[in-house]
Structures are given as structure tokens and as C-alpha cells.
Structure 1
Amino acid sequence: MNNLKILIVDDEPIARENLEHIIAKEGYQTRVARDGEEAINLLKQEEINLVLTDLCMKGRDGMEVLGEAKQLWPDVEVVVITGHATVDTAVEAMRRGAYDYVAKPFKINELRMIVEKALEKNQLRKQINVLRQQVDSHSGSRRIIGQSAKMHALRETIHQVSQLDCNVLIQGETGTGKELIARTIHELSPRSKKRFVAFNCGVFTEELIASELFGYEQGAFTGASKAKKGLLEMAEGGTVFFDEVGELPLSMQVKLLRVLQERKVMHVGGNQEIPVDFRVLAATNKDLKRETETGDFRSDLFYRLDVLTINAPALSERREDIPLLTHHFLAKHAATGRTVPRLSSEAEQRLMSYEYPGNIRELENIAQRLLITCEGDVVAPQHVATVFGDTDWTPVRDTREQWPTLVEQEKQYILEVLDEVEGNKSAAVKILGIDRVSLWRKIKRYGLENPDA
């Protein structure tokens, strides 16, 4: 007997028993209800794959059973059976989501076929939902949260870069989600079905880096009781993510460069080169260009890694995303069954005014502390003040009075551009995206004839 459950609903005992006999003979699990009320109560207690219901019953009829079944279990299929078939009721049943509409007396083989097809659809729908949930839970693009212009641009860049099988350097401050960006690129790339291997270059000694990345032969060093593959071999066909690549020792930079050029690795203690195929993504919180100028990072490796660059914006550069991120972290860490507290406008304002040197990672820690501090349904400014340790902080009621007007902002922007190009108006109009006449009018309007004034 398989585990698919079919609920049979009919207020006529003989019809109900005959139908149960037919269904049970096919190997399905059966549940039986004598009327609509009993059927709905049963549906509230357990999941059913298919409902076979009579249409005309005293009390709650087949249409009500159909509606309740779909509301309780959206994946369930319902077949309506009736001895009073009309075009209108058939149309209404299909409109409400019935899989099929069968008139009595029905042919057994025909009913068997309908049951089989309805269950196939039920199982397919469930499989699609499972796959969708897996994609939603594992897809980095869904985990990259933010509606700011910078985040929209970042997501667009990630989608474009993911389809290019080239090396990518991800730059950004600590805690900005560089590994999440790397994982998302991998998940959206043609290599997504292969492994994503992450390696932090700043937490291992030089000897351990070599054995971890390249693998080793038996007896290569004390404790090497058997040969072991390196991470670069294990990432065959997939993606290798070098986190904090700027921390890689210079001697290891030489070895990594050779691997990237030759696409071959050699085990520690070995003498045989092993072909490898992987994509390289690297991340750093350093200015590697400047590191190459000081000799702290090899320029040839830098240019090998820096085929394409992605900049992970700091949280202070996208403050409008802070409320959305905070709610996400509150929901993520709230205890099961607890109502996720919402942010009051003043608490939101206080959170958005903080600089976040630890970026998103720090905001997540703050959200966890807010859950401890706030026992109610609303995060108030005093809860935020307690987390920040600002016991004497009082919220500003309307900071918008202190904001510059659009006219003031435009004037300042034009002034900065003119200063940057040393008064060259041809260069200024290209940066500003306006024509020379418009620029002349704005200079005159804002009294900027002498930008140095």
C-alpha cells in the first residue's frame, strides 16, 4: 500500500462503501466521511492528497468541502461526483479549483484513470513547492537584502558576472557580506551543480595553507598517515573562494599564481601534476592595488584575480536598507512562536543614525540584543539606547528640518564639480549630464560665476 491518502465523502452508505472498495483495491489509503461536516473536520486533522466528494449532501455540500479542502491544503486535488449533473454546477466546481467533475453512474475504469491523473498532479505540485522552497532557502540572491539603489545595482552586477566564467575580486569592508556575494555568483553560474569551496587565507600558517589547498602524499610530513586531496582538487568543475586573499603570504602567492596560470596542482611531497578546473572568486578588505605598490601583494597575482571587480557597499552607504535588514534579523533570531517585534519610527531613526563599523555583521548582533532587551511587540527608542549604551540619548522628533533643500544640494553639487574640473565647463557638463546652456543658467541662478568665491 502506498502512502497517498484519498478522502471519500458521500452521505449514501452504499455509494460510499462501493467507492471505498474501488479505491482501496488500487492500493491507496482511504479516509471516509458520512457528510460534509465530518469531511471538513477530518481535513483539519490531517493532510489529504485527493478528495472524492458527492455534490448534493445535507448540511455542508460538496462545494463547501471543495472550498475548505483547497483552503486547508492548497496542493490537494478534488473530484466532485454527482447524480444531478448540470453544466452550471460543473463550471462552478471547476472555477473553485476542482480537478474534475464526474456524473453518476460512472465507469470504474474511467474513475480509476481520473484518480491516477489527479494524484500525479498532486505529487507534481508538491515536488515543485519543495524545489521552490529549496531554491528560496539556498539562493544567495534571495538572501541579499536591500532595496537601495546600491543594492539593486549590486544584484544586477552579480547576475551579469555569474554568467562569465572569469575571476572576480570582491572588495569591501569587513562584515559587508563578501562571501554571500561569492556564493550567489556561484549559485547563479553554470558551475552551480559543482562544489563551492571557501578558504580563509588569514587563519592558517603557510605550511597548513599548502597542505589544505594542494593536498599531500602519504608521509609528506609528520602525521600524514595517508594521502589527502587538496581543496583545489575537491573543487573540480566548481568555484574556489579565497576570502581575505590579501593576507596570503608572498611565498604562497607565487604558488597560487602558478596554479592559476597552469591549471595544475602538485601534492605536498608529490611529484605528479594534477589538472584542475575551477573558477576563482577572491575577497579582500584591503586596497590590493596599493598593496602591490608597497610590495605586500604581487602585482601579477593581483591582475590575475582582478579580471572583474565588485564593490560590496558598506552599511553606512545604504542606510535606507537598515530597517529592512533589522526586521530580517529580528525574524531570523526570534524564538519559535514569538511575535516578531516591529520597529517604532524613533527606534528606526536611531538605528539609521549609527555608523556600523562592523557593517551587516554588527547589525545582526544588535538585532539579537534587541530581542533580549525588548519583551513586547514594539522596539522603542529606549531599547535601542540600552543596546548602544546611550542612557542620555533622546530622539530628535523631526530631523528633516535640518536637511538641505534640493536647491541647496544642487548648488553644492555643481560647485563641487566645477571645483573638481578647475572651472572647465566642457568637462563639467559631461559629469553633470546637462548641456552648456543649462549649466550657464544654473551658474547664474546660484551666483557661481566665480566658483572659488
Structure 2
Amino acid sequence: MTSPESNSRGAIVFIDDEADLCTAAEAWLGVSGFSVRSFTSARRAIAETDPDTVDCLVTDLRMPDIDGMGVLTHFRRIAPDLPVVLLTGHGDVSLAVAAMREGAHDFIEKPYDADLLVAVLDRAAERRNVGRELFRLRQRAGDDALESRLVGLSPAMTALRRAVLQLANIDVDVLVTGETGTGKEVLARALHDFSRRAARPFVAINCAAIPEAIFESEMFGHVKGAFTGAAGERIGKFEYASGGTVFLDEIESMPLALQAKVLRILQERVVEPLGSNAARPIDVRVIAASKVDLKAESEAGRFRPDLYFRLATVDLAIPPLRDRREDIPLLFSLFAAAAARRFGLGDGAPLVPPADLHAQSWPGNVRELKALAERTILGFGRPGDKAGKALPPLADRVARFEAAAIEAALREAKGSTAEAAERLGLPRRTLNEKIARYGLRVPG
């Protein structure tokens, strides 16, 4: 099978012993933008499918030569990351649940809705792409690749990585703008670490966290006796960072009087410690970050226009997460895998992202997404969920499917649990346990 075209929604292998179903699936999925190849023989599909060129495999559960469980077992062995979706009949709930335990990506009950199939395949293809990208990032992690710092497949993140490589060794000051939680310091550190200044200090200063009364001493240093309590000389953060980078975070919060002093440093590249008349030359690159529009702030008189124009020679804007939704699944899986390793709760294998991530507004941006991934790994889900009650969407769907199938079997058996257990292929005791677990009513 050849690789799908770059504009394909995903490469799908569809297996069903009914030729009409294969033809219909090929037509519908093809119109929907997928690249599809169908087989009426599972044996032939296994022989002719190269899993490296496939995004998802869909197989009927009951087939004459090799059944769906056999197909699943084969591909789980040779390509564990390939999503396999099973098509099941109404009476196959126990087999479907067993298949999920064996690693099936999902199952769909026949007769299936075509739109549902497309939605399931979209998620499967997304999971496949996330897995490939995670693998690529891990392979390059030892090289400290820029892709592992500024993660994302969106055009915006691709452009930011290109800008970092272009600007890293150019000694120009940079303004980084973006909402809270978008990763402004991550971008600043990348500019430093990929430059010739990387061996020298990266000094991060939160302008909102330093009291105005000690700001000058912290930033510019002081000499002995400069003020009461100045028992000795102390170099400031700018001088300490000489040869490296100073990162001024939340620069919009800096008082106007202090902005004038910072402007002089940027223009002259010298500092005068408190109590000293001698200017000391410094060699620093300055990267400033703001979560607000500094141009608008300067026009409103809340930020010095001359400092804004001095900083904004290069302005790198990090888009909010809601504007690069294609990056959300990859980021979630990356954060979840890292959390699993850190908490000792797994080997860091990719976690299937919740289905509704794209629908969120993400006011906290990447920081909020990271927190959700860590909560999910710990079993707490979203804020407000109770521990142990947050089921992954797929597990929840399996439970609903199973409960509905048991209810249907009980109705058909007119309340006879023995007959219902036989219809479902379950031991009677297991069926009774499931009836109690789901709180089902046995028809009288």
C-alpha cells in the first residue's frame, strides 16, 4: 500500500467479508477525504498491509477465515501503535469488551452510522499522528532539539521555531508577547540556549515580583554604604548576566520611573550601581515579555513609548492555544507521558487525549492543558471531578455499550438471567455482578 497523499485525512484499511459493505465504505470514506483500501479477506489484508503506511485499520469482528480478534492480535504484535477499530454485531458485546482489553482503539456496533465512523477514524488518525510525533521528539530529545522545546505542528509554531533559529545569534533585543500560560519564558530560554551565549547565565526577572524600593539595587547592584544596611558591594542582575541573557518577564508592570533607567541600559549597555559614579559596561541580550499589548499601553501613557520602540525591534507573538488547536492532542499526550514517568505511574506511553479537548477555550493556555494532563494521569480528571470517578471517554463508552446490551438481552429473555447470560456468552454470576454494578432493573 502506498503512503497517502499529504492532503489525505488519513490512510485506512477496511476489512469485511461482505463485498457490498467494503464498496460502500470505500466510497463514503473516499468522499470524506480518507485514502482507503478494502479487503474481503482478512488473510489477504494481513499479507498485503504495511502498517507503517496506515493510520487506522477497521475490521469486522466475525469473518470466516481470520476473525477480527485474530486481525487485532496480529497487528498488536507487529505494530502496537496502529489503531484498530472493530465492527461488532449486537450480540458481540463481550467480545468487544475483551478486544478493548487487548488494545483495540474502539468498536462500532453494526449497522453503524457513517458519520460516527468518520468521527472515530478522525480520532484514530489523530492518535496515530500524535504517536509518530512523540516518537520523533523522543528520538531527538538527546540532541535537545528545538522541536522538543517549542512543540507543535501548527504553522504558527513552525514559524516561531524558524524565527528562533534565525535570531538566536543576532544580538538584537526581542519582545515576546502572549497570553498567560502560552510559554513566553520557554521561547526566551530557547533564544538563549540556541545562541552563542548559551554557556553564560540566563537571568529571569519577574518585574511584578520585585518591590519598587529595592528594584534598583536588585537590577543594577550597589556599592558598600550606598544605603543603610549596605554592608558590602553587590552586583546587580544585569551585571551578573554579562555575556548572557536577561529576561524581563511581565515588563508591563514595571513602574514608569524605573523604565527610564532600563531604557538607558538598553541604549548604553552600561550600569551604575547605587552609590557609585562609575558606569560599568555590560554585554547582555535583553528579552522582554508582556501579556498585554505594549503599543496600546504606551499610547495610553502607561508604558514609555521610547522603551516600547527600543524593545520591539523584533516582536515575537505566541498565539493562544485556542488559535492552534491542531497542537492540543500532541501537547496533551506529551505532558501526560512525562507526568506518568515522573509520578512512576507508567512507562510514559502516549495517552489517548479526551475527545472534547478541541472544544475547550483554554484561558490558561498550555499551562492549563499541562495541568489537565497531569490530573488525568493521577485519576482526577478535570478540576471538580472526584478522585477515581473520572473515566476516560472510551471507557465510559464501553460501559454504556455494555449496560445497554445487557438490558436488551434481559428484555429479549423476558427477565431470565440464565437465558440472558447464555445470549451474551457470560457466566451467570458475572452477569449478575454487572447488573448490580450498572444498577439495571431485571424485567419481571
Shorter-normalised TM-score: what interval? 0.5 to 0.7
- In structure 1, the residue matched to 2:60 is none
Q: Given residue 370 of structure 2, which amino acid in structure 1 is its aligned partner?
A: E
Do residues 156 (structure 1) and 162 (structure 2) align?
Answer: yes
Do residues 252 (structure 1) and 258 (structure 2) align?
Answer: yes
> Matches of 2:233 and 2:141 in 1, distance apart?
39
Which of 208, 213, 222 pairs up with 2:214?
A: 208
Do residues 336 (structure 1) and 344 (structure 2) align?
Answer: yes
Structure 2 CA distance for partners of 1:387 and 1:146, relative to 1, 3 Å? farther
> Matches of 2:362 and 2:196 in 1, distance apart?
35
SS at match of 1:316: helix
Counterpart contact for 1:140–1:183, Cα < 8 Å: no
Structure 2 CA distance for partners of 1:140 and 1:245, relative to 1, 3 Å? farther
Counterpart contact for 2:337–2:351, Cα < 8 Å: no
- In structure 1, the residue matched to 2:294 is 288
**1:191-242 deviation per Cα after TM superposition (whole angstroms, max 9, x unaligned):** 2222211111111111222111100112222332211101111111111111
Root mean square deviation, CA, Å: 2.9
- In structure 1, the residue matched to 2:360 is 354
> Matches of 1:283 and 1:326 in 2, distance apart?
25
Alpha-carbon shift at residue 318 of structure 1 (Å) = 0.9
SS at match of 2:354: helix
Alpha-carbon shift at residue 384 of structure 1 (Å) = 5.3
Alpha-carbon shift at residue 387 of structure 1 (Å) = 4.6
Counterpart contact for 1:140–1:180, Cα < 8 Å: no
Structure 2 stretches lacking a partner, 5+ long: 1-139, 398-444
Q: Given residue 327 of structure 1, which amino acid in structure 2 is its aligned partner?
A: S
Which of 196, 202, 209 pairs up with 2:202?
A: 196
Do residues 170 (structure 1) and 176 (structure 2) align?
Answer: yes
> Matches of 1:225 and 1:256 in 2, distance apart?
25
> Matches of 2:280 and 2:309 in 1, distance apart?
24
Structure 2 CA distance for partners of 1:368 and 1:296, relative to 1, 3 Å? same
Q: Give 1 or 2 for the bigger CA radius of gyration.
A: 1
Counterpart contact for 1:174–1:358, Cα < 8 Å: yes
> Matches of 2:170 and 2:362 in 1, distance apart?
33
- In structure 1, the residue matched to 2:332 is 326
Structure 2 CA distance for partners of 1:342 and 1:385, relative to 1, 3 Å? farther
Q: Given residue 219 of structure 1, which amino acid in structure 2 is its aligned partner?
A: G
- Aligned residues: percent identity? 42
SS at match of 1:348: coil
Q: Given residue 216 of structure 2, which amino acid in structure 1 is its aligned partner?
A: A
> Matches of 2:141 and 2:325 in 1, distance apart?
30
> Matches of 1:388 and 1:154 in 2, distance apart?
39
Q: Given residue 297 of structure 1, which amino acid in structure 2 is its aligned partner?
A: F
Counterpart contact for 2:270–2:281, Cα < 8 Å: yes
Structure 2 CA distance for partners of 1:262 and 1:269, relative to 1, 3 Å? same
Q: State the aligned residue count.
A: 254
TM-score by length of 1: 0.52
Structure 2 CA distance for partners of 1:261 and 1:244, relative to 1, 3 Å? same
Counterpart contact for 1:216–1:267, Cα < 8 Å: yes
Which of 132, 138, 148 pairs up with 1:142?
A: 148
SS at match of 1:309: strand
> Matches of 1:299 and 1:280 in 2, distance apart?
17
Counterpart contact for 1:216–1:269, Cα < 8 Å: yes
Counterpart contact for 2:354–2:393, Cα < 8 Å: no
SS at match of 2:308: helix
Counterpart contact for 2:146–2:161, Cα < 8 Å: no
> Matches of 2:198 and 2:393 in 1, distance apart?
50
Structure 1 stretches lacking a partner, 5+ long: 1-131, 375-382, 398-453
Counterpart contact for 1:140–1:187, Cα < 8 Å: no
Counterpart contact for 1:171–1:312, Cα < 8 Å: yes
- In structure 1, the residue matched to 2:59 is none
Structure 2 CA distance for partners of 1:387 and 1:317, relative to 1, 3 Å? farther
Counterpart contact for 1:373–1:387, Cα < 8 Å: no
1:22-421 equivalences in 2 (<5 Å): 135-136=143-144, 141-334=147-340, 335-336=343-344, 338-340=346-348, 342-344=350-352, 347-373=353-379, 383=381, 387=385
Alpha-carbon shift at residue 337 of structure 1 (Å) = 5.7
SS at match of 1:260: helix
SS at match of 2:357: helix
Alpha-carbon shift at residue 348 of structure 1 (Å) = 3.1
Structure 2 CA distance for partners of 1:140 and 1:266, relative to 1, 3 Å? farther
Alpha-carbon shift at residue 140 of structure 1 (Å) = 5.3
SS at match of 1:326: helix
**1:376-428 deviation per Cα after TM superposition (whole angstroms, max 9, x unaligned):** xxxxxxx459659999x999x9xxxxxxxxxxxxxxxxxxxxxxxxxxxxxxx
